[in-house]
Chain A
């Protein structure tokens, strides 16, 4: 395996309470290789989203990433970055798709403005250049460029999700984090979006950290899978191995509870 694009070492995250602290992530370590599709599964509240937020250091008090944790992106410890370096690091190296497609676009800015935000801040692009680039990016997700003038509420849920993905790709990030990105969408749209991500990943070469509690979906799309239980990463292995011969008790139970309705992996010749 080549040098990992994301390497998490001994990550501990607490939520500080008035009396007692709650440890949401307990000593978690794992790697993601360049271009790899890595799935992180577990029931809600197991700490998987907490990890996702930590990678771009998006937490707010009372969350606390404990000293001794390391989050290496491309060999550089994100936790050592100062404010400015952190700002430059965000989105350029790690982009993120959030849980709710309906809600991750700013309702009072046009789509174009939300592209321009990123392109201007990180690349100093002019409005015209940004508009051109944004149109290109929208094309990647099959959205006509005239949508640039629209506001989020004028687009459907699936379309908004694809716009977010297009914004994610604006700076050619090395890693795309998807935090339960499809929960709000119906099954057909869900599948379609994941296929599209997979195609883009192969074309552009970014890695994906995919977080979900939908195990069936995860097994179909991921190269490797990590299983989380109450803040701990209990098992990591490649998707087929972990599916066919789970080691940890909890993983076995998860598989048992999963309805066996899904077909083969969509990965091999996925997409159009």
Chain B
């Protein structure tokens, strides 16, 4: 768990984690945070933010704050659910391709590269359009089905280099079955790659849910950030001046994206010491300034 410990010492990771935990807590305790139901008419349409309605109301008189905190549940669930699926598929296929090599590798690699050159969003849209108004579960499934390729690529390339290490070679000599080698020798060394893949996939899935919702491909009866965007856009929120209706989910998305991205950058820094510009450079510059030495 050294990776985890190192992360706790990283400023970016701490900020990112704080944002993420806050949003998750808000989602979990959503019903306690607001007296209003997210799906009932609780006020006059398009009321600006006030003491009664912190973030105003929608055109249908729904409370925006209530929809926002309840919507966090769906957005996070889709994000983490799809993110998990994408990561599992990507990691399993990547390790198998990288470790087994040969025909298995060629086949997996071929399909991976093929999926990578088919633009992802247009593909998602076509599938979602045929499915009709997709609920959160269906959206998560579609995302998991179409977005694993990047994970396979990085996992595979990392596996290729780990495969050459001594401990893998010696496990092979000892006659360990290959699934054991893949699960116990290779996987633990891929933790940072898997972590980056997972968080990147969650970001991707959250944004994808919002985008599909915004484009009218989501189920309008669910409460999610994407559907909020869709409703606000349909209500011409900006042109009638009801900015709170549209900008609230925008900022929520931006904040969640930022928190996850900070976490991801932090993992990358911890996993690649060369990228770190930590305390040593600071004390180095100080010593140069004090005239204690030079390059």
Contact = CB atoms under 8 A, between A and B. Distances in A.
The short answer to whether A and B are in direct contact, CB under 8 Å, is yes
Interface of A: 12, 14, 16-19, 57, 59-67, 69, 79
B184 to A, nearest CB: 32
A63 B295 contact: yes
Nearest to A13: B293
| Residue in B279, B281, B284, B291 whose Cβ sees the most chain A Cβ within 10 Å | B284
B288 A64 contact: yes
A62 B294 CA distance: 10
Interface of B: 278-281, 283-285, 287-288, 291-295
A67 B292 contact: yes
Given A16-B284, A18-B279, A62-B280, A67 B291 contact: yes
Nearest to B278: A18
A66 B294 CA distance: 7
Nearest to B292: A67
5 contacts: A17-B280, A18-B283, A61-B285, A65-B293, A67-B293
B10 to A, nearest CB: 12
Contacts of B278: 18
Contact of B292 (A17, A57, A62, A64): A64
Nearest to B276: A18
Considering the complex of A and B, which 9 residue pairs feature the smallest CB-CB distances, nearest first?
A: A18-B279, A64-B293, A66-B293, A16-B284, A62-B284, A18-B280, A62-B280, A61-B284, A59-B295
**Which of B291, B294, B295 has the most chain A CB atoms closer than 10 A to its own CB?**
B295
A51 B278 CA distance: 25
Contacts of B295: 57, 59-61, 63-65
A66 B292 contact: yes
A79 B279 contact: no
B280 A64 contact: no
Given A59-B295, A61-B284, A67-B292, 10 more contacts: A16-B280, A16-B287, A57-B295, A62-B284, A64-B284, A64-B295, A65-B294, A65-B295, A66-B293, A67-B293
